[in-house]
Amino acid sequence: MDKRWLTTDELAARFRTAASTVRYWRHIGYGPKSIKVGRRALYDEAEVLRWEQEQAEGAKAA
């Protein structure tokens, strides 16, 4: 199975926010984990889905 990697811009579009917001989240340790490839941050789509599920479960508990 091939992994699908999302760029910062793709992740921002997915969450309907600015790319700068995603970069800030990465800076403060919030959001899905990323890897650096050269100067680019990439996000494993499976990790993004896991993080989204974690956020949804947290919202239900609140």
pTM for this one?
0.86
pLDDT at 60: 78
Q: What is the pLDDT of residue 19?
A: 98
Per-domain residue ranges of the chain: 5-61
Which CATH number does the domain 5-61 belong to among 2.60.40, 1.10.287, 3.40.1350, 1.10.10?
A: 1.10.10
- Cβ neighbours for 9, distance < 8 A, ≥ 6 positions apart: 19
18 touches 4 (CB < 8 A) = no
Q: Are 34 and 42 in contact (CB under 8 A)?
A: yes
Q: DSSP labels for 14-62?
A: HTTS-HHHHHHHHHHT-SS--EEETTEEEEEHHHHHHHHHHHHHHHHH-
Residues 1-53: tens digit of each pLDDT: 688 999 999 999 999 999 999 999 999 999 999 999 999 999 999 999 999 99
